[in-house]
Amino acid sequence: MKRVLLILPMGLTLACGNGAVELPPAHGAGAPPLPTLPKLASDVAVTTSEGRTTGTTYPKEVAEIGPKISGIITKLEVREGQRVKKGEVLFRQDDADARLRLSQAEVGLEAAKIQLKAMQVELDRNKTLLEQGAIQRAQWDQLEPRFEGAKIGVQQAEVGIEISKKYLDDAIVRSPISGVITSKIKNEGEMVTTMPPTVVVVVQDQSTLELRFRMPERALVTVKSGDRVSARFDALGLAREARVVRLAPVVDARTRTIELTAELPNADGALRPGLLAQVEVLSEGPVESP
């Protein structure tokens, strides 16, 4: 037997067996409540009000430091979290080969100097003989190029010493910037290479941080480089002021927002890269340092 589903108008009753069930009205008093739909999450943070948003801190400068020559690390002079100054030694490599090259170059220089001295004596002696007519001019003409070659030999040996000294110096790797060791990737005894390049330690300059945040594209009209920014770090209970230094050259077509970058003073080191900040663009004025 086929079952028939009847859709009855509002206010009618549906007969079922010996009883009857009255359907509630679809609208008005007595109507069932409408279901609540879940909110859809946005892909990006939306500003809570004009000039306010959230941002993240980044180091102003990062240096991923590797070796200048391939070799084995013999000594790591730093540890993670340690502060270093520009030019401070980070690690040392096995320099035995470089020292041998330097010794070889020094011996080569001495040999070249002896050769030059001998050629000078021979040249002076033959010059006297030439003046006396004891030798032919052709013989003298052969001596001059040999003497010049001996001088060039000394110069080459001196260059060889400078190259060997550079190899020796390259076995000692120094920090190119002042900052904090944020990562130590290699250990003593490990082999490191220049190709492919091996990163041994990472140094970040955190004395000034970059605060990056996004705002609607209309910020191109309302915000400019040099404007003051208030940054509140709820996790630390701190608030700082920064100065806008850069507006991105492009607008994100998907979100219709633009990235702004502000420089955040951090001389006391209280802030860290990666912190979340509540950001508000302020009026112009001097930036307060911590």
| Interatomic CA distance for residues 70 and 227, integer angstroms | 47
Domain with CATH 2.40.30.170 in the chain: 52-60+205-281
140 has which bridge partners?
none
Peptide bond into 24 cis (omega under 30): no
User: Per CATH, is 63-93+172-201 categorized as 1.25.40.80?
Assistant: no
- How far is it, in rounded angstroms, from Cα 205 to Cα 84? 10
Residue 195 is given by DSSP the state T
Q: Which of 3.30.565.10, 2.40.30.170, 3.30.70.20, 1.10.443.10 is the CATH number of 52-60+205-281?
A: 2.40.30.170
pLDDT class of 13 with cuts at 50, 70, 90: very low
Alpha helices in 133-246 (DSSP H): 137-170, 219-222
Instruction: Please tell me the least confidently modeled range out of 68-72, 90-94, 256-260, 281-285.
Output: 281-285
Name the band, by pLDDT with cuts 50, 70 and 90, for residue 252.
Answer: very high
Angle of CA points 192, 74, 91, to nearest 5°: 75
What residues does 180 pair with on adjacent strands?
83, 204
- The closest alpha carbon to 245, from 287, 290, 203, belongs to 287
CA 214, CA 211: separation in Å to the nearest integer? 10
Q: What is the pLDDT of residues 190-226, one digit of tens each?
A: 999 999 999 999 999 999 999 999 999 999 999 999 9
pLDDT digits (tens, 9 = 90+) for 18-50: 444 455 555 555 656 655 544 443 333 434 456
Tokens 């860290």, residue located: 272
Letter for the amino acid at 31? A
CATH number of 96-169: 1.10.287.470
Grouping H, G, I as helix, E, B as strand and the rest as coil, residue 86 is coil
- Give the number of other Cβ atoms within 10 Å of residue 141's Cβ: 10
CA atoms within 13 A on the CB side of 156: 10
pLDDT, tens only, 128-168 = 787 777 777 878 778 888 888 999 999 999 999 999 999 99
Say if residue 227's pLDDT is above 90.
yes
pLDDT of residue 66: 97
pLDDT at 3: 45
Position 7 pLDDT exceeds 70: no
Residue type, 203: V
Beta bridge partners of 201: 65, 184
Query: What average pLDDT does the chain have?
Result: 84
* Model confidence pLDDT, tens digit, residues 98-108: 999 999 999 99
**Looking at per-residue confidence, does 113 or 127 come out higher?**
113
Going by pLDDT thresholds of 50, 70 and 90, the confidence category of residue 4 is very low
What number of residues does the chain have? 290
| Tokens read off for 186 | 């290699």
pLDDT confidence of 281, banded at 50, 70, 90?
very high
* Delimiting residues of CATH 1.10.287.470 domain(s) in the chain: 96-169
Q: Is 227 helix (H, G, I), strand (E, B) or coil?
A: coil
Q: Where in the chain is the domain with CATH 2.40.50.100?
A: 63-93+172-201
- For the ranges 60-69, 123-132, 148-157, 228-237, which has the lowest average pLDDT? 123-132
